[in-house]
Structure 1
Amino acid sequence: MSYPAQMLATLAQAIKKDFASFDADSGRFRKKPSNPPAPGARPEDIGWCVINQDIIYPLALLYKTPDNEFYRDPAILEMALRGGDAIRNFQQPDGKVEFLTTDGGRWGFIYMPWTNYAWLETYQLLLEELGPERQQQWATGLTLAHDGQAKEISTLPLHNIPAWKGMSCWRAGQIFQRPDWQAAGQAECRAVAAAQHRDGYWPEHGGPSTLYNGVYVHALGLYYLFSGDENVLPALERAAEFHQHFCYPDGTLVETIDGRCKYNQNLYLIGWPGLYCSAKGRRLAALLAGQLQAERDFSSYQGGAIASNIVHWSTAASAPILLDQEAFQVRFADQAAVFRQGPWFACLSAFLSPPVHNRWGQDRQSFFSLWREGHGLLFGGGNSKDQPEYSNFIAAGRYLPERLELLPDASGLNLYYGPVCCTLSCQISADKVTLRSSASNGTALQQFVIRLKAGQRIRRSSGEEIELSLERPICWQAPELGQELEFPGGRLRLPPGTAFRWPIFPFNPYATDGAATFGSEAGLLQARLGSTELCWEILP
């Protein structure tokens, strides 16, 4: 079975779970919030945001594509049509919509780029099924949305949302024969391509975001596939080179270098059309497509991305990527290093930026992650904000380093906190991972965030086994913990003096009150550090 056929079959299986969330009266699709209700949330707003409606593009694709169980299914068609009506009904007179989130948060009014694009492609796919009245209503709504986007994008900063708006404007101009929209979209997409960092990413808050980079790549990829504008092709080739360094072997994004977003155990479905535009990108896309799982990877249909991934799949030649190798240690632009050996994959980040004075840019404070085949991420998980417990080191009254650098052999990092230099190195063999650390010119507190969820079981040196429960927090000092800790991902040999806490919760910028998402709890290992080297070992 071809990759597009596999993806279509997986989509058909996955989308069934969303049928129960469809409200036939309103045409809205609802979903459970990922965090507690926002302060002041209205009960009727909980569970819905306009981005939920992006599912209509995948629904339309299933309806129109032969050889899947929903081909020409009238129930699927009705959901897609009523879902589009719900977008139109939610629009303001100028075509904007209120940016609600499923927790009931309210973020103002916006031309919602992901939804406008998914709606646009649904319009094009279902043109024969719309009927005159609905076609007129949808065309009016899409015209309002893209008129607004085309007028505003030249005044917006170069960023991921305007990039997507530029692509959507070009495509809408193609469908509705509006060369003014196409001109605005072309100008935006070319400007975005020119603004890319030479190392293949678009800086957000002082450095890369592996997740948001996918938004730029998706937008420019679709723009290139629609327009054939080769001005953006070099940027897509550089982006593929960037992304092939920063995927774990299961296809999930490496969060360690991301200054905005935390680790997510789902595949990120945005960005694939841009990967289709280069040989290495196509190989990476094939790896991702081969990992796609119905139950795990379809929590969101943002931008109708999975439909675009199927429609625009490329069968052109591919080229080998890092993840085709069973073992490697590679430096990336003197800013990061990635390692693979046996079941292990590790990343060290030397990206650093000053603290960002808004909620979206997180503190770059966590510089190491460790992944294990069959278990996912063990150490790391990403940065937080104003939370020293998520920092790898605290020294000289600081939890953010002023400077850091890769060691000459890229096996570790030197991190400078005022006068104190903290060193962390990583050695990987097939049967264990060894971390060594030390501090010079002063003392420090070393910390590792370890991914542990409620319901999992851990065992300390005494042999006592405990099931983690949010109702029973743990705070073990060194005598209580001992020098070993068994957890679902393996067994830790700990340096003397190690303490352990659980749970800790990160700041969530996507909740108005910063409330952590459900399931984001983690554990914290801490040890005092001086000139004597500490050794941590992680074994299967």
Structure 2
Amino acid sequence: MRAIRFALPRQAGRGQFLIAPAINAYKVFYDQQITAGMAYCLTRKFRGNPFHHDERVAQSMQRSLRYMLAEGGLANPVIGGPMEHRNLRASVTVVQLAGELLPRGLRAALVASHRACLAALRERMRRYRDVRVFDARTLDTGTNHAWGYLAITALLARHLGEESVLSELAPFADRFAQAQDRTGHWTENSGPTSVYTRVSAHYMGLVAEVFPTAALVRAARRAADFQMRFSFPDGSSIECFDERVQAHESFYDLSQYLFGLTTLRHHPQGPAYFSFLVDRLKQVCGSRTAFTSLELTHFIADALLRIDSLRSATTWKPFDAQAHGDGFGTIRRGPWQVGWQALATRKWPGNCFFLDRQSLFSLWHDRCGRVVDGSNTKRQPEIGTFSVITDEGAFADPGASLPTGGRWAKGAGLGSLVVAYPHFSARLDFLPRAGGALVLRARVRPRGRKMNRLLMNIRLPFRWGHRVRLASGARMILGEHAPVELTAPQGGPIDNGVVRFAASRPFAATWPFIPFSSYRSPMHQREPADAWFVASVDLDTARASTVELRWNAIR
């Protein structure tokens, strides 16, 4: 209801809700999913709901639907055009919930649209009839979108009573479910991703409702398990093996807390985990950016429509645990949690969305939240955990800054990440200390071809608007311009009032470091939230060297 109040005054002349930041047309289309939440409130009478049969909301919903028929490609669907599974599913949800409230002409237009869309989707899905390996090369898109298209095709076919389409889809759905990794993820463009696995899980759960086969139910349970195991204690995904420059950018925002909820009823701890996510959602809904994406309203409607299978008298709580996949994992002990990856980047020529897995780890403390941001970039070696540099100061071939493989080793503290690169090897020991501190001891050993310069880069949780205190005692507010004080190597600790960072060697600091994002570059749009504070330490390239980094929780 709060999202609807937020959206109503932001509806533009053609009927579209324009929610900042309107990154591109697809972001605008995604925000039209508020219509699913409107349909739910219009047709459900419950305590505190002021929108039951509300005429203003009904008119607003209808204008958005007409916008999507015209501008969103739903009236004249084209494979590869603006018709996208999420945008189409919202219109189906509206018809199923509030079809009787729609004017006859609009209802007829939606029926015609849905039949045309189903024909286009059926054509698309037939391209996958013989697919046995499921990834971005064989599906022409990421597996999260493939599950989305499969889900909307199945839901639409069931809605329209097209049994022949359902019979075509069932074998493909079972094969797709069985392609799931043992940890519960589907390969995206290069191995697992955390946010995208939740997206895949959500749509796979919808497919399991249409085809409740043993394979799909088993896959739903595994996907829910992945979400619970590979998350931080606040329910957010461990982004160190993710594909977004920012795991929490406004495409998803609060939606990530509800992605995957359709699978939770198949897991023994699923309802308790859902109760935990709802509690977390209540805490963050009051933030200034809570409704930068209205897509979450569709997932809230999904939850409410399935609430009987998601109710729980208990709430899930984070606990000490280890979870490992092939080349990635997470370890939680006490207040500290590490997410790590040492996956080799696949060489997929022609795939503009392939992932350079440059960041080795993310780090969490219960009082401070995320103290090291580990989200990955695309083709940007200067922001990887390690960066190899040439004499001229330019960055070397990106491949020199990408891991070729690695593993987690048991040992003191949380354990160690042992990882290989083309020209050096590294061992990172994570060692909790008394008083809310953690020491990261990084040992690097050159091998093979000589390097001219090697940097270790750490993305700290100092963000836009934070007040940072230097070792000199000087304080500054991080804003649009990099303060002069941060251009010289720092010799002592710095903090933002929440966490203090120090290194055994002088470190250079860069603010604001604005990373490249293939999702934003076409619009050349950058937001303050994109900026990173990066601390960089020079390492010896001629012999083995060690550096210790230290974080103290001070809040």
- Range into which the TM-score falls when normalised by the shorter chain: 0.7 to 0.9
2:429 to 425, 428, 453: 425
Tell me what 2:57 maps to. 76
Shift of 1:168: 1.6
Alignment of structure 1 residues 149-168 onto 2, 5 Å: 149-156=121-128, 157-158=138-139, 159-168=143-152
Deviations 1:208-238 (A, max 9, x none): 1111112221111112224433330111111
The whole-number CA distance in structure 1 between the counterparts of 2:387 and 2:102 is 60
Alignment of structure 1 residues 64-463 onto 2, 5 Å: 64-67=43-46, 68-90=49-71, 95-96=76-77, 109-156=81-128, 157-158=138-139, 159-260=143-244, 262-264=246-248, 266-267=253-254, 268=256, 269-292=258-281, 293-296=284-287, 297-302=290-295, 304-315=298-309, 324-326=317-319, 328-357=320-349, 358-373=351-366, 375-395=368-388, 398-409=400-411, 411-429=415-433, 431-441=436-446, 444-463=454-473
Deviations 1:90-114 (A, max 9, x none): 365973279xxxxxxxxx6143100
The whole-number CA distance in structure 2 between the counterparts of 1:62 and 1:94 is 26
Shift of 1:512: 4.5
Opposite residue 295 of structure 1, the aligned amino acid is G
2:490 corresponds to 1:481: yes
Tell me what 1:101 maps to. none
Query: 2:458·2:534 contact (CA, 8 Å) conserved in 1?
Result: yes
The whole-number CA distance in structure 2 between the counterparts of 1:112 and 1:497 is 50
Deviates more, 1:308-317 or 1:458-467: 308-317
- Partner-residue secondary structure (3-state), 2:175: helix
Alignment of structure 1 residues 468-507 onto 2, 5 Å: 468-474=478-484, 476=486, 481-507=490-516
Shift of 1:316: 6.2
Measured at CA, do residues 432 and 400 of structure 1 come closer, stay the same or move farther in structure 2, by a change above 3 Å?
A: same
Shift of 1:183: 2.6
Shift of 1:522: 0.6
Query: 2:233·2:318 contact (CA, 8 Å) conserved in 1?
Result: no
Query: 1:483·1:493 contact (CA, 8 Å) conserved in 2?
Result: yes
Opposite residue 275 of structure 2, the aligned amino acid is A
The whole-number CA distance in structure 2 between the counterparts of 1:97 and 1:49 is 19
Shift of 1:276: 2.6
- Partner-residue secondary structure (3-state), 1:270: coil
Shift of 1:534: 1.6
Shift of 1:462: 0.7
Deviations 1:10-50 (A, max 9, x none): xx123311111113x52221122365xx7xxxxxx7x9732
- Partner-residue secondary structure (3-state), 1:218: helix
Q: Number of residue pairs matched? A: 507
Query: 1:221·1:277 contact (CA, 8 Å) conserved in 2?
Result: no
Deviations 1:353-401 (A, max 9, x none): 2355433222101011112335432212411122222211135852112
Deviates more, 1:61-70 or 1:509-518: 509-518
Opposite residue 526 of structure 1, the aligned amino acid is S
- Partner-residue secondary structure (3-state), 2:500: strand
Tell me what 2:522 maps to. 513
The whole-number CA distance in structure 1 between the counterparts of 2:113 and 2:300 is 24
The whole-number CA distance in structure 2 between the counterparts of 1:77 and 1:374 is 44
The whole-number CA distance in structure 2 between the counterparts of 1:335 and 1:270 is 24
- Partner-residue secondary structure (3-state), 1:263: coil
TM-score by length of 2: 0.84
The whole-number CA distance in structure 2 between the counterparts of 1:83 and 1:203 is 35
Query: 1:279·1:318 contact (CA, 8 Å) conserved in 2?
Result: no
The whole-number CA distance in structure 2 between the counterparts of 1:325 and 1:219 is 25
Unpaired runs of at least 5, structure 1: 1-11, 39-44, 99-107
- Partner-residue secondary structure (3-state), 1:285: helix
Shift of 1:117: 0.8
Tell me what 2:475 maps to. 465
Deviations 1:442-478 (A, max 9, x none): 6742111113222211111111111112133557366
Measured at CA, do residues 510 and 421 of structure 1 come closer, stay the same or move farther in structure 2, by a change above 3 Å?
A: same
TM-score by length of 1: 0.86
The whole-number CA distance in structure 2 between the counterparts of 1:109 and 1:317 is 39
Measured at CA, do residues 17 and 143 of structure 1 come closer, stay the same or move farther in structure 2, by a change above 3 Å?
A: same
The whole-number CA distance in structure 1 between the counterparts of 2:372 and 2:276 is 24
Shift of 1:299: 2.7
Opposite residue 336 of structure 1, the aligned amino acid is F
Identity of aligned residues (%): 21
Query: 2:68·2:74 contact (CA, 8 Å) conserved in 1?
Result: no
Opposite residue 281 of structure 1, the aligned amino acid is G
Measured at CA, do residues 260 and 189 of structure 1 come closer, stay the same or move farther in structure 2, by a change above 3 Å?
A: farther
Opposite residue 80 of structure 1, the aligned amino acid is M
Tell me what 1:51 maps to. 30
Deviates more, 1:457-466 or 1:157-166: 157-166
Tell me what 1:4 maps to. none
The whole-number CA distance in structure 1 between the counterparts of 2:439 and 2:333 is 12
Unpaired runs of at least 5, structure 2: 129-137, 390-395
Query: 1:27·1:85 contact (CA, 8 Å) conserved in 2?
Result: yes
- Partner-residue secondary structure (3-state), 1:324: coil
Deviations 1:161-210 (A, max 9, x none): 23212212222222221113323443443232122122210111221111
The whole-number CA distance in structure 2 between the counterparts of 1:419 and 1:84 is 56
